[in-house]
Amino acid sequence: MRQICRVDIVNIASTSGIRGHANGTAYSASKWAVRGISQCWQAELRPHDIRVISVCPSEVQTAWGGKTGRNNPNKLYASDIADAILSTLSANRRALWPEFAVFATNPWGEG
């Protein structure tokens, strides 16, 4: 019996790659590039049954860049993004979300 290998590529971009912000030129540009690469690969690889998905999370609970004040339990956690990705990948292979954004419900709310 021939075994079929299913391939999915998940690229992590950012909502900053959808809409830029002040002082974010380099970061936003790199995330725009990830989205562009994903779109090209979608066109090139879909005929081979390879799904390419671009995920654009908003601000995630990290100490990125050593910034303080990011410890907000209302922001996204890595596990939230992983859950969204796994949910998307569980869809029948005929379905494709080429790109999706993940936002915290209320990242400014009190914990």
Indicate which CATH number applies to the domain containing 58: 3.40.50.720
Query: What pTM was computed for the model?
Result: 0.84
Q: Is residue 2 included in any domain, yes or no?
A: no
In a domain, 110, yes or no: no
What is the widest separation between alpha-carbon atoms in the chain? Answer: 56
pLDDT at residue 21 greater than cutoff 80: yes
Q: Between 71 and 58, where is the model more confident? A: 58
In this structure, of 32-36, 65-69, 99-103, the range with the lowest mean pLDDT score is 65-69
Burial class (CB in 10 A: 0-12, 13-18, 19+), 98: middle
Asked if residue 74 lies in contact with residue 48, where contact means CB atoms within 8 angstroms, the answer is no
Which band of pLDDT confidence, cut at 50, 70 and 90, is reported for residue 70? low
Domain interval for residue 26:
7-102
In a domain, 109, yes or no: no
β-bridge partners, 56: 101
Catalytic residue numbers?
27
Model confidence at 2, pLDDT cuts 50, 70, 90, reads low
Total number of domains constituting the chain: 1
Residue 60 domain-assigned (yes or no): yes
